A and B are shown apart, each in its own frame.
Chain A
Amino acid sequence: MTGFEKISESALRCFRWLILGDEDVKGCNLSDTERKIIEKYSDVDVLQRELDLFDSIDNSKAYLKFVESVRKSARERRAKLLRRTFIGVSAAAVILLLIVAGGVFGGGDDVTVVNKYALAESEKVLLITSEGETYSTSGEIKVEDEKVVAEKSKLISTERDYAEQAKINELITPAGVRQKITLPDGSIVWLNAASSLKFPTNFDDTARVVKLCGEAYFDVVKSSRPFVVKIENASIMVYGTTFNISSYQSASLSNISLYTGSIGLKTDRSSIKLIPGHYVEIDNMTQLISDPEENFSDSPDWMRGRMEFLSQPLGKVFEVIGRWYGVNYEISPEIRNLEVTIMISDKTSLEELSELLEMTQNISVLNENNKLVITKH
Chain B
Amino acid sequence: MDKKTSFVDSVNSRSLDAFEDIFKLHYKELVYFSSIICNSIQDAEDIVHDVLIQLWESSYKFENQIALRSFLYTSTRNKTINFVKRYNKQLNDISFLDMSDSNESIIEAITDAELLSLINKAISRLPAECAKVMKLILQGHSSAEISVLLDLAQSTVRAQKRRGLLLLRQYMPNEALTFFIIFFKII
Q: Which residues of A contact B (CB under 8 A)?
A: 1-5, 7-16, 18-20, 32-34, 36-37, 40-41, 44-45, 47-48, 50-51, 53-57, 59-60, 62-63, 65-67, 69-70, 73, 359, 362, 376-377
Contact = CB atoms under 8 A, between A and B. Distances in A.
Contact of B176 (A13, A55, A362): A13
Contacts of A15: 115, 118-119, 122, 172
27 contacts: A5-B66, A8-B176, A8-B179, A12-B176, A12-B179, A15-B115, A15-B122, A18-B115, A19-B119, A20-B172, A33-B108, A37-B112, A37-B115, A44-B138, A47-B139, A48-B138, A48-B139, A48-B140, A51-B116, A53-B41, A54-B117, A57-B41, A62-B27, A62-B31, A69-B53, A70-B16, A362-B16
Contacts of B168: 19-20
B111 interface: yes
Nearest to B164: A19
B86 to A, nearest CB: 20
Interface residues of B, number: 53
B101 to A, nearest CB: 5
Interface string B105-135: 0011011101111111010000000000000
A5 B114 CA distance: 11
Interface string B2-15: 00000000000111
B91 interface: no
A47 B69 CA distance: 24
Contacts, number: 139
B167 to A, nearest CB: 11
Nearest to B56: A70
A230 to B, nearest CB: 48
Given A57-B28, A377-B16, A66 B115 contact: no
Nearest to A2: B101
Contact of A50 (B45, B101, B116): B116
Nearest to B24: A59
Given A7-B110, A12-B172, A20-B168, A51 B27 contact: no
A11 B119 CA distance: 10
Contact of B118 (A12, A47, A56): A12
Please provide the 5 A-B residue pairs with the shortest distance between their CB atoms, ordered closest to farther.
A44-B140, A11-B114, A63-B23, A59-B27, A4-B70
Contacts of B49: 62, 65-66, 69
B116 A44 contact: no
Contacts of A67: 16
Contact of A362 (B15, B56, B165): B15
B45 A66 contact: no
Contacts of B179: 5, 8-9, 12
Contact of B139 (A7, A32, A44): A44
Contact of A33 (B16, B73, B111): B111
Given A19-B122, A44-B139, A63 B111 contact: no
Given A7-B111, A45-B140, A60-B23, A376 B13 contact: yes
Nearest to A47: B138
B70 to A, nearest CB: 4
Contacts of A32: 104
A81 to B, nearest CB: 16
Contact of A16 (B29, B32, B140, B172): B172
A70 B48 CA distance: 14
Contacts of B119: 15, 18-19, 51
Contacts of B24: 59, 63
A55 B29 CA distance: 10
